DNA sequence: CACCAGGGTGGTT
DNA sequence: AACCACCATGGT
């Protein structure tokens, strides 16, 4: 198993700085995290801009209007009916908890369970919100990272999420590193080289222990 | 045309 | 605990 510091450096060299999360506010990141689920950033970003133009990137305003009235704005993100409802619920949560400032003041230990209780917010989305909206040193474990780790280990099944979390937390403990690392993992997971049987130019490929498969 | 994209939920075995 | 169907648009 290579060190995660090394993996981070290699991914950075291949894909370049990712500069996540593109947003104008912490609440917009929460909105984007919900909208981007199981879809492309393009579709989610379009929806975010629609909401922006309507000045709906605001917990109070978003909590007021019914979910059905929200659907036209988030249509481009797919799953627009449930996402509209979940978005309104999330906005209501923020309002009920006293706003984004009040949430920012809370500890990660109390914030994470609260986020996980939200409809449509699972482990990955909760951790992405904690890292990108609230600047907490959290490891985001997604399908790309599991696949990457499995190939690096050369094992048929990926390591447990808890193991991944602890390994990475030790190697990349600070918020900027964790921020960039998750973005790089996604960028690499999406890149063409992982989808083709043979990759001619991917310089990350030699990190694979078995050498039989691209990362 | 089929396939997939920065997941999560609820039901079934 | 491990599957499964479902959610739905937009790009390739």
Residues A29-38: tens digit of each pLDDT: 999 999 999 9
Contact A67, A84 (CB under 8 A): yes
- Asked if residue A214 keeps its beta carbon closer than 7 A to nucleic acid strand B, the reply is no
Residue A201 has pLDDT above 70, yes or no: no
User: Which pLDDT tens digit goes with each residue over A54-89?
Assistant: 999 999 999 999 988 999 999 999 999 999 999 999
- Asked if residue A78 keeps its beta carbon closer than 7 A to nucleic acid strand B, the reply is yes
CA A39 to C1' C10, whole Å = 9
How far is A215 from A132, CA to CA, in rounded Å?
25
Q: Which two tokens stand for residue A155?
A: 């094992």
Collect all residues with Cβ–Cβ distance below 8 Å to A178 and sequence separation of at least 6: A131, A137, A138, A139, A140, A168, A172
Q: Which two tokens stand for residue A215?
A: 């990362």
Burial class (CB within 10 angstroms; exposed 0-12, middle 13-18, buried 19+) of A5:
middle
Residue A210: name the closest of A155, A143, A157 by CA: A155
Contact A153, A213 (CB under 8 A): no
| Positions of strand B less than 7 angstroms from a protein CB | 5-10
Read off the pTM: 0.93
């Amino acid at each position: 198993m290579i060190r995660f510091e090394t993996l981070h450096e290699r991914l950075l060299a291949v894909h370049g700085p990712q500069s996540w999360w593109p947003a104008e506010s912490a609440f917009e990141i929460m909105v984007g995290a919900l909208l981007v689920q199981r879809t492309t950033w393009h579709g989610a970003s379009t929806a975010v801009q629609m909401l922006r133009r309507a000045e709906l990137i605001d917990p109070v305003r978003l909590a007021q209007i019914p979910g059905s009235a929200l659907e036209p704005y988030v249509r481009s993100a797919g799953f627009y009916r449930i996402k509209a409802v979940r978005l309104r619920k999330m906005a209501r949560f923020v309002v009920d908890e006293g706003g984004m400032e009040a949430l920012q003041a809370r500890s990660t230990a109390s914030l994470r369970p609260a986020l996980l209780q939200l409809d449509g917010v699972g482990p990955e989305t909760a951790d992405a919100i904690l890292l990108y909206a609230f600047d907490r040193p959290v490891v985001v474990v997604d399908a790309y990272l599991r696949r990457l780790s499995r190939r690096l280990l050369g094992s048929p099944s990926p390591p447990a999420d808890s193991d991944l979390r602890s390994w990475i937390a030790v190697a990349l403990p600070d918020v900027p590193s964790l921020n960039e690392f998750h973005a790089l993992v996604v960028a690499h997971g999406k890149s063409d080289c992982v989808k083709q049987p043979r990759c001619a130019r991917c310089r990350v490929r030699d990190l694979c222990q078995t050498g039989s498969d691209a990362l």
